[in-house]
Structure 1
């Protein structure tokens, strides 16, 4: 894909400030909100079961993260997803820790029937969701992203969702098309919330997609934008604390010229 086409989604987010409703884990709420603000989106962290349905219906997108799932949150997520689907609001599933944890895994499989627009996870999570053997260690993947590519394509075809596997190399597929991207920095794994915030960023981008056919491009753009910002932030800061600040700054300031110069991608023929 052309860098200019991808960056057009960045421009849309900055111009339209999509309202992103986040039902995320309690560890990353603040950082996720700051990332959304940095990219130009409007975050909302409404969590009450009594209110999530109303809010999901008026948001531009919904981001669901299972990182600290409990029974009350699972009920709130079900209500939010149902309302989002009724309103035609796209939603993103981040299946954190799916595979090793039984409650979370069962709930994630149930959510697949509710038709997420995008599923974004690490290799172990995507392999587990596609029906493969669990290989994760808590929230961390023990598999390389290329090992999950076939699983991602199977999952995309089964659910009709765009599936993104993120790691050292990022893959995005709708079951027919596959693109690989190799931007980013190891420091992105040293700051809590970068991956979870990426799913919220994907939600912001799909929230400004003109139609369902554009969801794949929007997901590619969101991941490219986030990883390029991380790569450039690592040039500004060598340690995790300063990197977190530099990452937010790069998200807010990244322009089309730097984006196009830094982007590393390749198309893959889907098998």
Structure 2
């Protein structure tokens, strides 16, 4: 099967099954990621309360945990949801937003990943380096390290926790143990509006919900992000129109469009 066929097969499965993707994510991107999941064909749930996260995870095809706007009670909800997902065999996708910037984030990431190792971890270069305690992190949520600089850290994390690690950047690296895949599709415009990294994490959740091979799911998800970014750029004049065009690209993605981009 070619890469284009693999991507398209997963997209068709998402559209046919509309998997529920349970998100514990940040206030900044809730609307963006929910709409992106709907556009690609999945069904988003944005539930974080300790009173219901375990019940919601039981219905979900995948759990996405994003630590962007942290607080203690949200960390409690994340832990409960991740432990329950692991118990039920549901894939967990984890986004260590701005890890390395504060002690709270460092402690939360360490606790959560130790409690329930994610199927997929996605971050920028600085976040992956910080997650591996190899650096002090980037400039808040922005990366000060190139994606390729974090490959060694990603391999160490992958081998320690058995997780697939995605490093977003000008070139995306997807790592599973000693396996390294690259995705070079995308556009710098994706860095000009908030939440595109968080959207990539959520899209990884949709693909993980229908593809039990986390490495393949992550590769295909990142290709879809990059391809749709390129398609959106061709129809936009700036960040505002790009955001709308990106959702349209997710919704209108075709096999021919994928083949043309590869």
TM-score bracket, normalised by the shorter chain, equals: over 0.9
Q: CA deviation at 1:89?
A: 0.8
Partner of 1:107: 108
Q: CA RMSD in A?
A: 1.0
TM-score by length of 1: 0.94
Q: CA deviation at 1:176?
A: 2.1
TM-score by length of 2: 0.97
Matched, 1:225 2:227: no
Partner of 1:69: 70
CA distance in 2, matches of 1:83, 1:17: 22
Matches within 5 A, 1:157-236: 157-209=159-211, 211=212, 214-236=213-235
SS of 2:52 mapped into structure 1 = helix
Matches within 5 A, 1:114-153: 114-153=116-155
Q: CA deviation at 1:261?
A: 1.6
CA distance in 2, matches of 1:193, 1:100: 18
Residue-by-residue CA offset, 1:231-264 (whole Å, 9 max, x unaligned) = 110010020010000000001001111112212x
CA distance in 1, matches of 2:137, 2:97: 13
CA distance in 1, matches of 2:235, 2:64: 29
CA distance in 2, matches of 1:131, 1:223: 25
Residue-by-residue CA offset, 1:135-159 (whole Å, 9 max, x unaligned) = 3000000000010111111111111
Q: CA deviation at 1:6?
A: 2.4
Q: CA deviation at 1:2?
A: 2.3
CA distance in 2, matches of 1:261, 1:148: 30
CA distance in 2, matches of 1:100, 1:2: 37
